[in-house]
């Protein structure tokens, strides 16, 4: 109330029309009211809990149970054992794929609702729509995961394609995690000397070339990558390099490995790394 009275006294001294004073007072009252923020966690937490519980229920009720005490010839028994082993192997791959789908879905939901860079009207409208249909999405999400696993089992998808799916989902999980840690960062990258704002194309160019000496195209002053950005780039290289090296451990053909890495590497360079770009006017030592 003291603040409001003070503003009223100040307004009485200013030469404004009555309508302008009324508009200003309305703005002051409106700014003092606590804003109501949507609790986006109500969308995220139930999706994870219900999906995980439903997934565990399906795993404990595995329909692929071999009949016991049935006489059969050695050839048939050998075929049944091989088929049973194949079913079990495929079931494990389906379980891993389902778990990765759950993790990617939950993290992607958090990123979608909390990413500060995504403030365009279309994104905001889409957020409102998803939030409005949240209960339906919570109910449908476990069935979607179950349907994917059932289709894989029904059509007996080759193990190699399942391995490729796991490898791709792991790569997507890395990218989504990096988006998650960058969710509070804004898109703007400026020169600390003159305030020149770099475009997205210029940011990607700076990230890919990683020049030792930078100069602002506007004021021509020397710029440096921030200490935090260089540390993050080091961490990303420790994440990207093992992924490329150990991609052969999945037993995929060379063509499929190259295909998956052709998505992963450009996404890291052109999408993820610009999220963390920071410039300083003075060089900062790493240690």
CA distance 216 to 190: 9
CA 273 to chain CA mean position, Å: 14
Torsional sign, CA 96, 98, 99, 105: positive
- Residues 287, 209 within the same domain: yes
Contact between residue 110 and residue 180 where contact means Cβ atoms under 8 Å apart: yes
- Residues 55, 158 within the same domain: yes
**Secondary structure class of 224 (helix, strand, coil):** strand
Residue 133 dihedral angles phi and psi, to the nearest 5°: -100, 25
- Residues 23, 161 within the same domain: no
Tens-of-pLDDT digits for all 287 residues of the chain?
556 566 666 656 665 565 565 666 666 555 544 545 455 455 555 555 555 555 555 555 444 444 444 445 565 667 667 777 777 888 888 888 888 898 898 889 889 988 888 888 999 899 999 889 988 888 888 888 888 888 888 888 888 888 888 889 989 988 998 899 888 887 678 888 888 888 888 888 888 777 777 888 888 888 888 888 888 888 887 778 778 777 777 777 788 788 888 888 888 888 888 888 888 888 777 66
165 falls within a domain: yes
- Residues 161, 284 within the same domain: no
CA distance 252 to 159: 10
213 falls within a domain: yes
> CA of 241: how far to CAs of 122, 148, 151, 235, in Å?
36, 31, 34, 10
Up-side HSE of residue 2: CA atoms within 13 Å toward CB?
Answer: 0
Domain final position from 142, 165, 185? 185
Give the domain extent around 198.
Answer: 187-287
Contact between residue 91 and residue 156 where contact means Cβ atoms under 8 Å apart: no
272 falls within a domain: yes
Q: Please identify which residue in the block is written with the tokens 């494990």.
A: 92
- Residues 236, 176 within the same domain: no
222 falls within a domain: yes
- Residues 64, 179 within the same domain: yes
- Residues 8, 52 within the same domain: no
- 15's torsion region: left (phi>0), alpha (psi -120 to 50) or beta? beta
What's residue 129's pLDDT?
A: 92
DSSP element (H, E) containing 112? helix 74-114
- Residues 51, 156 within the same domain: yes
- Residues 42, 171 within the same domain: yes
- Residues 41, 178 within the same domain: yes
- Residues 242, 194 within the same domain: yes
179 falls within a domain: yes
What's residue 48's pLDDT?
A: 55
- Residues 286, 214 within the same domain: yes
127 falls within a domain: yes
What's residue 264's pLDDT?
A: 87
How many structural domains compose the chain? Answer: 3
Measure the N-to-C terminal CA separation of the chain; round to a whole number of Å.
Answer: 51
73 falls within a domain: no
CA distance 63 to 49: 23
CA distance 54 to 61: 11
19 falls within a domain: yes
Domain final position from 170, 185, 200? 185
């Amino acid at each position: 109330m003291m603040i409001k009275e003070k503003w009223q006294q100040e307004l009485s001294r200013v030469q404004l029309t009555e309508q302008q004073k009324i508009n200003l007072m309305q703005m002051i009252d409106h700014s003092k009211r606590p804003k109501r923020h949507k609790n986006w966690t109500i969308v995220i937490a139930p999706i994870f809990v219900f999906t995980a519980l439903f997934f565990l229920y399906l795993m404990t009720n595995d329909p692929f149970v071999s009949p016991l005490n049935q006489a059969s010839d050695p050839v048939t028994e050998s075929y049944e054992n091989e088929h049973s082993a194949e079913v079990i192997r495929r079931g494990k791959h389906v379980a891993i794929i389902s778990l990765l789908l759950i993790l990617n879905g939950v993290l992607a939901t958090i990123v979608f609702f909390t990413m500060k860079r995504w403030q365009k009207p279309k994104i905001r409208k889409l957020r409102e729509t998803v939030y409005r249909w949240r209960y339906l999405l919570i109910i449908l999400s476990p069935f979607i995961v179950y349907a994917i696993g059932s289709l894989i089992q029904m059509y007996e998808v080759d193990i190699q394609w399942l391995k490729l799916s796991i490898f791709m989902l792991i790569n997507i999980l890395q990218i989504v995690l990096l988006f998650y840690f960058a969710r509070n960062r804004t898109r703007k990258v400026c020169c600390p000397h003159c305030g020149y704002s770099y475009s997205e194309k210029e940011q990607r160019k700076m990230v890919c070339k990683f020049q030792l000496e930078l100069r602002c195209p506007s004021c021509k002053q020397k710029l440096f990558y921030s200490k935090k950005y260089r540390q993050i780039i080091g961490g990303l290289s420790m994440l990207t390099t093992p992924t490329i090296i150990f991609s052969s451990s999945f037993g995929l053909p060379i063509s499929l490995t190259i295909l998956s890495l052709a998505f992963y590497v450009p996404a890291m360079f052109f999408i993820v790394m610009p999220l963390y770009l920071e410039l300083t006017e003075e060089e900062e030592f790493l240690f």
